[in-house]
Amino acid sequence: MKVLFVTSEAHPLVKTGGLGDVAGALPAALIAEGLDVRVIMPGYPAAMERAEGRTDGPDLGDPLGFGRTRLIAARMPDGVPLWLVDCPALFDRPGGPYNDAGRADWPDNHRRFATLSWAAAYLGKVGDGRAWLPAVVHANDWQAGLAPVYLKQWRGPGPGSLITIHNILFQGRFPRTILEEVGLSPELFRIDGIEFHGQASFLKGGLQFADRVNTVSPTYAREIQTPEMGAGLDGLLRHRKAHLSGILNGADYEIWDPSRNPNLIRNYGVDGAVEGKAACKRDLQMRMDLDPKAEAPLFGVVSRMSDQKGLDLVLAVADRLIAAGGQLVVLGSGDPAEETAYMALAEARKGSVAVQVGYDEPLAHRIQAASDALLVPSRFEPCGLTQLYAMRFGTLPVVRRTGGLADTVIDVREPHGTGILFDTASVVGLWSALERTFALYADRDAWRAALRRAMQQDFGWTRAARAYRDLYRKTIETAT
């Protein structure tokens, strides 16, 4: 089965969050299951530089009037075949995939991601000129949302289309006037089209026109059908219920394995975990100017800073956490006010709190290894990957019972517990979970038993890849 996987980021070429991890791992897992998968993503400078074996592919001309566009055939470093959408006018610029160095969204994002979607739809419809024609176009998030729309607008037979929602809050909404600019009929600006509260929404377009819709955990698939968590799209999702499902993401243990992770001062498996983690903790305490206390429970955070992640709650409990003898290490970036608040906390609580603002892949691994517990107090979480990595690293996740967090962590009150869950996104809720964490930490045997169980969980990508294979089959059935 030939599948075109459409994404706006993929590790290790370009990554800003979990979608990058998924796009960097799921295609390879699908290929291992016998599927013929190719990835398509924008030709950002970093992607052009890091992709291997680049050769010229189909020339798309100037499809939407935004500039010359051609496809470059290449490979991910692990061999997964890749198309890069080479349109220098849209993608050849310094800065991030979605925003400039000053964090402002690129003003032409509608053009940039319409072009990605258009190129994907073109490959889906016409193929690459060398007999590679996908049976399914798998769009991810709003950036690929127009691919199913173009496919349905263009006449004649085409592939099945699936859209995966990684986060329903990011919808790609623009003024209605952009429709014609991106080559779509203004007639689509209607409630059962891509109109959303007076704007044109790329995500809504995808949800409306894709043959199948899915998201990254079964619980989030239910949650987004409610007015509280559907971000205005719950009605549409309830309407599409029969074609909506949830598939839990996996963890890439080629990368997230403490027994062979190159970023750690000491590697460890289940058996040497206590000693290995102690060495990693000492190392991190030294590197980050934390007091060298072996016995202080170290709480880690590796996260984007946004309202979703609930890190304001961590700020609010930080003093109590320190008073109880804990230490806190935070790696994150995003909301400027939150960044500033965390830096101020680190300054005021030297020795007990260490904060690094920014994006740092090796440090993310070191924090996972050094911490005793990882805090993920999200208000909502479609899947969440850091809690999966934490478990493999013998770091107990302290998570809010929502979305994929609820689907992956078992509370230590249960016989096979692997972490600590709490229900309300409030200071009281988080603090009660932390009290339970401190109590468990004091009971060394119980802690070590939970740590062992957490490390032995298997969230590898194979299960998810098989579920996607089945979903692709259903997508083809729905399309025909």
> How many CB atoms within 10 Å of residue 68?
13
CA dihedral for 96, 97, 103, 106, sign (positive or negative): positive
The reply to whether 465 sits near ligand GLC by the rule CB under 6 A is no
Number of residues this chain uses to bind ligand ADP (CB under 6 A)? 17
Residue placing its CB nearer to ligand ADP in the complex, 135 or 284: 284
Among residues 7, 9, 10, 18, the one that binds ligand ADP under rule CB under 6 A: 18
Q: What is residue 193's three-state secondary structure?
A: coil
Per-residue string for binding with ligand GLC, 253-292, x by CB under 6 A? ----------------------------------------
Nearest approach in angstroms of CB 358 to ligand ADP is: 6
Burial of 245 (C-beta count, 10 Å sphere; 0-12/13-18/19+): middle
Nearest approach in angstroms of CB 26 to ligand GLC is: 9
Nearest approach in angstroms of CB 17 to ligand ADP is: 3
Q: What is residue 20's three-state secondary structure?
A: helix
Residue 240 contacts by C-beta under 8 Å, 6 or more apart in sequence? 207, 213
The reply to whether 27 sits near ligand GLC by the rule CB under 6 A is no
Q: Per CB under 6 A, which region of 111-119, 137-145, 325-333, 458-466 contacts ligand ADP?
A: 325-333
Residue of this chain nearest to ligand ADP (CB atom): 18
The reply to whether 384 sits near ligand ADP by the rule CB under 6 A is yes
Q: Tell me if 246 sits within 8 A of 217, measured CB to CB.
A: yes
The reply to whether 304 sits near ligand ADP by the rule CB under 6 A is yes
Nearest approach in angstroms of CB 404 to ligand ADP is: 8
Q: What is residue 112's three-state secondary structure?
A: helix
The reply to whether 381 sits near ligand GLC by the rule CB under 6 A is yes
Per-residue string for binding with ligand GLC, 66-105, x by CB under 6 A? ----------------------------------------
CA angle (387, 390, 391) in 5-degree steps: 90
Residue of this chain nearest to ligand GLC (CB atom): 18
The reply to whether 163 sits near ligand GLC by the rule CB under 6 A is no
Per-state percent for the chain, helix, strand, coil, to nearest 5: 40, 20, 35
The helix (run of H) or strand (run of E) holding residue 221 is helix 218-223
CA dihedral for 204, 208, 209, 211, sign (positive or negative): positive
Among residues 37, 116, 184, 216, the one that binds ligand GLC under rule CB under 6 A: 216
Q: Per CB under 6 A, which region of 30-38, 150-158, 381-389, 455-463 contacts ligand GLC?
A: 381-389
Among residues 22, 244, 373, 421, the one that binds ligand GLC under rule CB under 6 A: 22
Question: Which string of DSSP letters, residue by residue, matches 37-106?
Answer: EEEEEE--HHHHHHSEEEEEEEEEESTTSSS-EEEEEEE-TTS-EEEEEE-HHHH-SSS-SSB-TT-PBP
Distance of CA 475 to the CA centre of its chain: 23
The reply to whether 333 sits near ligand ADP by the rule CB under 6 A is yes
d(CA 202, CA 140): 11
302 touches which of ligand GLC, ligand ADP, none (CB within 5 to 8 A by kind)? Answer: ligand ADP
216 touches which of ligand ADP, ligand GLC, none (CB within 5 to 8 A by kind)? Answer: ligand GLC
The reply to whether 361 sits near ligand ADP by the rule CB under 6 A is yes
Residue 62 token pair: 């100037």
The reply to whether 331 sits near ligand ADP by the rule CB under 6 A is yes
Among residues 47, 72, 147, 302, the one that binds ligand ADP under rule CB under 6 A: 302
Residue placing its CB nearer to ligand ADP in the complex, 194 or 284: 284
Burial of 19 (C-beta count, 10 Å sphere; 0-12/13-18/19+): buried
Site residues, ligand GLC (CB under 6 A): 17-19, 22, 166-167, 216, 249, 381-385, 404
